Amino acid sequence: MEEQAVQAVKKRRKFPGWAKIVLTVILTLAVSGGALCLLLGRGGMSLVETYLLARFAFVEKDADLDAAVDQGLDAFVTGLGDRWSYYLTEERYHQVTADRANSYVGVGITVDSVSREEGLLVQSVAADGPADRAGVLPGDVITAVDGTSIAGDGRGQGAGLVAGEAGTRVTLTLLRADGFTLDVTCTRATVHSPSATGRMLEGNIGYIYLANFYSGSADSLIQQVEILTAQGAAGLIIDVRNDGGGYVDELTDMLDYLLPEGPIFTMKPRWGFESITQSDEDCVELPIVTLVNASTYSAAELLAAQLKESAGAPIVGSETSGKGYAQVTFALPNGGGVGLSTSAYCTGSGHSLIGEGLALDVELELAEGAVIGGENDNQLAAALALFDK
């Protein structure tokens, strides 16, 4: 056995793979002697060398290096110790980019996969979307997709079957509330989803639910405010519960529209100078209450804080996270992206929410079984009650 091992070593020494290792070392040394070494430092060069060694020296020549890079980059960003920075794989990067455009390819419905054993319960239908034009109604239950039943355990794959490429057709089998069953065919297309939706509550109080601060969200909020104002709203409730935030420009456009003249946002980047965004004198002259919860982050949290600071708008709900860093998402050569915290942000007066979150005027948790914006929403009821005081 020992002799065989020696012979095996001799054979490996003749294998051309060793030349690749030598080449790797030479390349690494050449790079390390240049300006790139100064830029990357020992840690960065170690990452580069590890990849080159895996590429040319690792015994498993068919190893999935792309998967290893994904895991490595994710671990690297996690190692920064910042809960707000993140790594996105190529697939996830494309999905996030589409989501931030407040548009997606589909048929224009939101569904509940839990409530009905028969299939997917349609909760809402986007106006003039493919499903709307095909006659799908809120309350319908999708029981099959292209003839494939999605009842019972099949509900988990239902949404994936409904999704597809723009321009392709999908047939949905619908169960109506009256027990009638029918098939409708939708042509998948890009569907734009508004960030803000609104309705009038009792006492002429306008209620606006704001889902995010991505592309077009400021225009969406302004549109809802103007609709409710035209209907005679005497006050506004802006609900940012479960709102994960979004773009700074959308936030400042909203604050400028809602608030009177004064500072509304402070940005403190790592590189460059501190900047303070000012609002003009035009504003919405209505009392405002904001609704928040533990999933109110970033721009959503700052919106509530600034409305309180500039206009005394009460805040109702549960404790928030205390986020105070803004991220920039950088595209990477592998098709993915990395989001890094590059700036600290504060209210117009310079107050940071880091480590403390929002100062709540009415603190209470959402009641068990209650639905946000629904009739049993106790937090919404508490916000509405403030207008009677």
Does the pLDDT of residue 33 top 90, yes or no? no
* Fold match flag (103-192 vs 196-388): no
In this prediction, residue 104 carries a pLDDT of 81
Confidence of residue 34 (pLDDT cuts 50, 70, 90): low
* Distance of alpha carbon 150 from alpha carbon 161, whole angstroms: 9
Phi, psi of 198 (to 5 degrees): -145, 160
370/298: higher pLDDT: 298
Per-residue pLDDT, 277: 97
Q: Superfamily for 103-192?
A: PDZ domain (2.30.42.10)
Provide the percentage of residues in the chain whose pLDDT is more than 70: 90
Its pTM stands at 0.77
What pLDDT does 311 receive? Answer: 96
Instruction: Give residue 7's pLDDT band: very low, low, confident or very high (50, 70, 90).
Output: very low
pLDDT of residue 37: 74
Three-state DSSP class for residue 210: strand
pLDDT at 206 > cutoff 90: yes
Question: Which residue in 168, 166, 214, 205 sits closest to 189, CA to CA?
Answer: 166
pLDDT bucket at 2, cuts 50 / 70 / 90: very low
Percent of the chain, pLDDT > 90?
69
Q: What pLDDT does residue 99 have?
A: 83
User: How confident is the model at residue 237, as a pLDDT?
Assistant: 98
What's the pLDDT band for 241 if we cut at 50, 70, 90?
Answer: very high
Whether the per-residue pLDDT at 24 is higher than 80: the answer is no
Q: Hey, what CATH topology would domain 196-388 get?
A: 2-enoyl-CoA Hydratase; Chain A, domain 1 (3.90.226)
- Lowest average pLDDT, out of 35-44, 97-106, 254-263, 288-297, goes to 35-44
CA distance linking residue 126 with residue 111, whole number of Å: 12
Name the pLDDT band for 315 (thresholds 50, 70, 90): very high
Report which secondary-structure segment, H or E, holds 382. Answer: helix 378-385
Q: What is the pLDDT of residues 217-233, one digit of tens each?
A: 999 999 999 999 999 99
In this predicted structure, the answer to whether residue 187 has a pLDDT above a threshold of 80 is yes
Give tens-digit pLDDT for 84-115: 999 999 999 988 888 888 888 889 887 888 87
State the pLDDT at residue 8: 39
Count of CB atoms situated within 10 Å of the CB of 243: 27
Residue 31: pLDDT above 80? no
What local confidence, expressed as pLDDT, does residue 371 receive? 83
| Confidence check: pLDDT of 215 > 80 | yes
Query: What mean pLDDT comes out for the span 179-193?
Result: 92
Domain positions in the chain are 2-63, 103-192, 196-388
C-beta neighbour count of 294 within 10 angstroms:
15
Mean pLDDT of the chain: 89
Residue 9 has pLDDT above 60, yes or no: no
Q: Which of 31-45, 175-189, 201-215, 340-354 has the lowest mean pLDDT?
A: 31-45
For residues 185 and 173, the answer to whether their CB atoms sit within 8 Å is no
Q: What's residue 127's pLDDT?
A: 81
**pLDDT above 70: residue 144:** yes
Closest CA to 361 of 295, 297, 314: 314
Instruction: Yes or no: say if 262 and 342 are a contact pair by the CB < 8 Å rule.
Output: no
